[in-house]
Each structure stands twice: as C-alpha cells, then as structure tokens.
Chain A
Amino acid sequence: MDRLKLVLQYFQSNSESISNGICVILALISVKLYTSFDFNCPCIPQYNKLYALGVMFVPPVILFFLGVIINRHTGVMMEEWVRPPGKRTKNPAVVKYLCSAMMQRALLAPMVWVLVTLLDGKCFVCAFSMSVDPRHFTGIPNNTGIDLVRLMAKVPCKEDAVFRNSTFRKAVTRYVRCYSQAIGWSILLFLILLGAIGRVVKPCFDHATFLQTRYWSNYLDIEQKLFDETCVLHAREFARKCVHQFFQSMQEDMQLRLQLPPPHCHPHHRDEEYEDEDHLHGITRDEQVDRVLNTWYFCRPELDVTKTAHQPKVYITWEDHNGRTLFSDV
C-alpha cells in the first residue's frame, strides 16, 4: 500500500512539477534570448515603428507556441478531445481544465519577454522617438540640413554622427525610456493583482467540481503514461519471445541431424523474478497488438475496475481423513 502511495505521489508531483519546471526554464531562455539579441534600430522614419513593435510582439508569439509544443498536457488534452467516446463518456470540463492550465503555463514566457522589453526600453525608444515633441528639450542640432522627422528617427542610434556631443539625444531617450518602464511596471502590477485575486476568489465558485476535474485530468495524464509504459514492456517481451522462437525454429529444422535430444532449450523453465506471460497479457500476434491499440483509441474502456480490484480470496480448510476440521482460513 505504501509503495503504491509513493508511486502515485511520484507520478503526481512528477507530472505537474515537470511542467512547471519546463515553463520556468522557457521563461529564463526568453530572458537570455533578449539579452543576447542585438537590438538594431534602423533609424529610418518608415521602418522604426515596424521593427520595434515586431521585436516586441513576434518573439512572444513564437515563445507561446513553443510553450504549447513542449507541454506534455497538450497531447493528453488533444487526445481526450478528439477520441471517440467508446465505453467512456467524455467530460468537457476536464478538457477545458487541461486547456486553461496549458495556456497559463504557455503564457508565462511571452509575458516575461514583453516585460523585459518594456523595462529595458530600447524598443519603445526606437518606436516612439518620432512622436516626441522636440520643443520640450534643449540643444537640438539644427544645422544638419535634414528635416525634423528624420532627425527624431535617428535618436535611438547613439553612434550616428548627427548627435555627437549633444545632450538632446540622451534627454529624449531618457524621457521615452521612463515612459516605457512606467508601462512595464504597471503591466506587472496588474498581472500580479489579477493572479492574486484569481487565487483568492476561485474557491468561492464551484470548488467541488474543480476538485473533480483536477483529479480526472491528473488521472488521464497518468493513464496515458502507464499505457505507454505497458506498451514498451510488452514490446520488449514480444521481441525476446520472437527471437527465442526464431532460434528454436531454426534448431528444430536441424534436429534430424542431432543424435541426442537438444539439451534443455526451453527458456521458459527459467525461474525468473517476474512472469514472462504476465507482461504479454496473452497478446502474442501482430494482429492482436494492432487490435489492442485500435480499441484503445476507438473504444476507450469504462472507468470501472471492480472486477480486478476485488478478486475473491481463496479460503482453505484442511480436514483429516474423518472429515474433522484441522485448520481453516475462514
């Protein structure tokens, strides 16, 4: 019983904590990606906004899809959603729960990218430097011969010749970056508030149903893992038997030539720690395996293990030759 509990706990913690771990790793990867990415504002009026907003929003989309792909629950959810009912009715609440859990995990890395971008400020400076009113700032270079819009578009590029020895560029950059950081912190505060309210308020609504859906979604995950595991063990036994049988059949072809009987070549006499037959579950042909896998998908079995769980115990009564009871298990 204890061993079973340990195994269940291992599965439970393993599945969710693995997903959480992968989620956090992806968020760290997104931070690393941002720091190693060489932000390169074009400093041309037509392209500044496009580039900056592209860098701010396209990588989050990529990270979101990556988060969905990497998550194990995506497969579980999709399979539960599209399978035919078979002998087991489908519970849409479970699919919805899995979907929302997967989305929440997948949204972490994109949010981290957006926040890091805003807090750093380079994207904002690149996109909105042209929208700043230069009259608020002193020291604007007015002898360069280029028009105002193009001048403002060059603000994000510090190595440009136009702004050498000029405090104007630094002032505008600081101003826009300050806006960017304010927006970043506000978004972070909003998200944290949302998360806190959600956690606090959720138990007020439908907690019992929530417990059920969480249990069954965990169950589906564990069931799929166990099915894959059983298939792997079965394949191994099948392969071992097949190879042995092949050698035996070759040896039978050669029996005519031997004088003595083949010495002890029945491998199943071995006293193994686990039964070979158990692992094969009576499935010994390729058509049977195909049928098992087909039925598993098209006609999922019902959630009722009474027959296996409650096997009748054998009670033995020992009697002597007169019919008197010597010892009894009853």
Chain B
Amino acid sequence: MDKFRMMFQFLQSNQESFMSGICGIMALASAQLYSAFEFNCPCLPEYNYAYGIGILIVPPIWFFLLGFVLNNNVSMLAEEWRRPTGQRRKDPAVLRYMFCSITQRSLIAPVVWISVTLMDGKSFLCAFSVNLDLRLFGNGSTPDLAKADLVRLLAKIPCKDVFDGEQVVSREAASRYLRCISQACGWTFLLLTTLVAFTVRAVRPCFTQAVFLKTKYWSHYVDIERKMFEETCTEHAKSFARICIQQYFESVGGEMQGLHGQHLHEKDKSEDEGEKPKSDEEKLLGIRAQDDMDKVLWNWHTCKPPLNVKKEDFNSANSNGTININGFSNNLQKPDPPKKEWVAYYSKV
C-alpha cells in the first residue's frame, strides 16, 4: 500500500507539481525582475510612447516563449503531432489538450509582469504624459507656449529631476492622475484574467467532462510511454554494451570459451531461484545487432504500435498486420505460461 502511495506521489509530483513549481518560480522571477529593473523614461516626445509600451509588452512575450522553452512537454507535443500514423491513430483532442495546458502554464509569468507594471504605473506615466489634458492640471497662469514646446514640457513629466515647468502644470497632480488610471487598468486586467480562468476551470465540467477525462488520460499516457521507452532503450544500451565488450574480449582470447559455458550455467541456476534480477541477455530482448536496434528506433517513430497489450493467440489472424511467422516461431518459442486456476475444495462437512 505504502509503495503505491509513494509511487503515485512520485509519478504525480514528477509531472504536474514540477511544472507548477516552474510556473510559480517564473512568476516570482518576473516580479523580482521588474523590481530590479531600473525604469528609465527617455522624457522625449518621440520616444516616450515606444519605451513605455515596449516595457509593458515585450518582456511578457519573452516570458511566454521562455515558458514554452522550459516546458518538457513541448517536445512531446511536437513529437505526437508530427509522427506518422503507423498502427495507432492520432487523436486531435489529445493534442489540443496538451497545447492548452502548456499555454496556460506559460501565460502566468506574463500576466504577473503586466499586472505589476500597471500597478506600479511608471510605464503608463511615461507613455501617456504627452496626452494630458491641461485644463485639469494647468496651474492657472498658462503662458503662451508654442505647441511643440508644450509637448516637450509634458514629455518631461515622468522625470522629476528634469522637469522645469512647475508654473504651467503641476507635476505631482498629473503623475498621480496617470498612475491612478494605470492602477485602474491593472485591476481591471487582473479581474478579467481571473474571470477567464474561473470560466475555464470551474464551468468547464458542465461541458465535455467525459471527453476531458479521456484526453487527460491519454496525454498522461503518451508522456509515460515516452519515458518508459527511453528507460528501456537505456537498459538495452547498457546490456548491449556490456555483452559487446564481453564478446570482444572473448573473441580476442579463445581460452575464454570455458568461462562462457560457466556463465550460462550460472544463469540457469538463477532462473530456478527466480530471485535475481534480469541478466543482461534477457534485457537485450532479443535485439543484438546494430541494424536491428536502428530498425527498432526507426519503427518506433514511423510506425507506432497499436494500443493493445492483450496476449494474442498467435494462431488467430492479427488485426494489426504484423508478420505472422507461426511456422518457425511455434517450435522455437517457450510454451505459454501456465494459466492461473482457482481451485475450490469443498469440505464434506
């Protein structure tokens, strides 16, 4: 029981909690990056808007792409999308599910950056100070400034130490006003994002719950299958290498023949005990040549096997169309393992 618990936790934690952890770390990183970043408004009419909006929009795009890069499941999605059909159909719903979950996780850090930027207000102030309405903030006495001069003055509002038009416009009041608008936009943005997330998470079970269970299972299956295949290949490679080296040494020194026989004998003994782990020979799974291994790896991608692991009766026709070499294999294969039978003894009482 405990073993199941630990294994399940390991499996679960490995996939979902790990990705959520990365997600959280990226969100914190984006908040920290913003506070460490020294915002430096150019205070020039031509560049203010570009700088302010650029700081608001470009880092989120960067974080979004970074989320895709850091997510392991992206390569899994690409692989599943591009593989030839082989003996296994492709399910577009599974691909969509994988893509959606990757996108959702990658969107968190950009949302955090945009909210923090809007709440702080500096980028808004920088971008929109030239559009200020002077009637609200004029200081009463407005000298007749040329339009270009006025615009240049307004552009200097974000820079405290450069601003020199206190008699024309109150810098404090204007910056307060713009920051207030920026914060209102920030809260609105957060509210909308939360509503969308709520709709997706809480209302979705009303629609397509059965399909959702299916796609969740199969996307998890694809991930696990890929990991198991890599594990099996690694084990095979290890055994292949070990036996290859052993055979090389044997071929170099012919007197190693005796050892080889002894080795086989030891193997039989361990078979009887049934407790030793699989020997290297077993781990090879019958694939002992480079061409064969290449064929295995090639076929794994171009012709994925069907999702059917029943122990097929080799005399009946296979639905998946693999080569049926009954004539040769029946003589060479070991007999099927004995069927388990439940025997009931009835007492005479």
Chain A residues within 8 Å of B, Cβ to Cβ = 3-4, 7, 37-38, 40-44, 47, 51, 54-55, 58-59, 61-62, 65-66, 68-69, 74-75, 78-79, 82-83, 145, 157, 159-161, 229, 231-233, 235-236, 238-256, 258, 261-271, 273-274, 280, 284-286, 289-290, 293-294, 296-298, 314-317, 325, 328-330
Binds A, one of B49-57, B64-72, B145-153, B179-187: B179-187
Q: Does B201 contact A (CB under 8 A)?
A: yes
Given contacts A43-B173, A44-B173, A245-B309, 10 further A-B contacts (CB under 8 A): A65-B194, A82-B206, A235-B217, A236-B224, A241-B309, A242-B305, A250-B296, A255-B332, A298-B210, A317-B347
Shortest Cβ distance from residue A151 to the other chain B in the assembled complex, whole angstroms: 13
**CB contact under 8 A between A328 and B347, given known A254-B286, A286-B307:** yes
Within the complex, what minimum Cβ distance (angstroms) separates A299 from chain B?
10
A271, B1: Cβ atoms closer than 8 Å: no
Interchain CA distance A82-B203 in the complex, whole Å: 10
Q: Please give, as numbers and ranges, the residues of chain A lying within 8 Å of B180 by CB-CB distance.
A: 40-42, 47, 51
Q: CA–CA, A294 to B210, complex, Å?
A: 6
Interchain CA distance A65-B200 in the complex, whole Å: 12
Which residues of B in the span 30-87 have a Cβ within 8 Å of any Cβ on A? Answer: none
Measured between beta carbons, the chain A residues less than 8 angstroms from B179 are: 40
Residues of B within 8 A of A297 (CB): 209-210, 213
Contact A229 B8 (CB under 8 A): yes
Residue of A nearest to B229 (CB): A243
Q: How far is the CB of A288 from chain B (nearest CB, A)?
A: 9
Contact A255 B210 (CB under 8 A): no
CB contact between A317 and one of B188, B205, B218, B349 (< 8 Å): that residue: B349
Chain A residues near B18 (CB, 8 Å)? Answer: none
Q: Binding site of A, secondary structure by majority: helix, strand, loop or mixed? A: helix
| Cβ A40 vs Cβ B183 within 8 A | yes
Residues of A close to B284: CB separation below 8 A: 265
Give the chain B neighbours of A289 by CB distance below 8 A: 217-218, 307
Q: Mark B220-254, 1 if CB is under 8 A from A, else 0.
A: 11001101110010001000000000000000000
Are A250 and B225 CB-contacts (below 8 A) given A235-B220, A290-B214, A315-B347?
A: no
Nearest CB of B to A46, in Å: 9
| Shortest Cβ gap from A37 to chain B (Å) | 6
Task: List 28 contacting pairs A-B, 8 Å CB cutoff, sorted by A.
Answer: A3-B1, A40-B179, A43-B173, A55-B187, A65-B197, A74-B202, A75-B205, A157-B172, A159-B172, A235-B224, A238-B307, A238-B309, A240-B228, A243-B225, A243-B228, A244-B285, A246-B299, A247-B232, A254-B287, A255-B329, A273-B3, A285-B308, A286-B88, A293-B210, A314-B345, A317-B348, A317-B349, A330-B347
CB distance A38 to B120 under 8 Å? yes
Q: Which residue of A lies closest to B136 (CB)?
A: A44
CB atoms of B4 and A233 under 8 A apart: yes
Q: Mark B264-280, 1 if CB is under 8 A from A, else 0.
A: 00000001001100110
From B291, which residue of chain A is reached at the shortest CB distance?
A254
Query: Are the C-beta atoms of A271 and B177 separated by less than 8 Å?
Result: no
Are A54 and B184 in contact, CB atoms less than 8 angstroms apart? yes
Nearest A residue to B342, CB-CB: A314
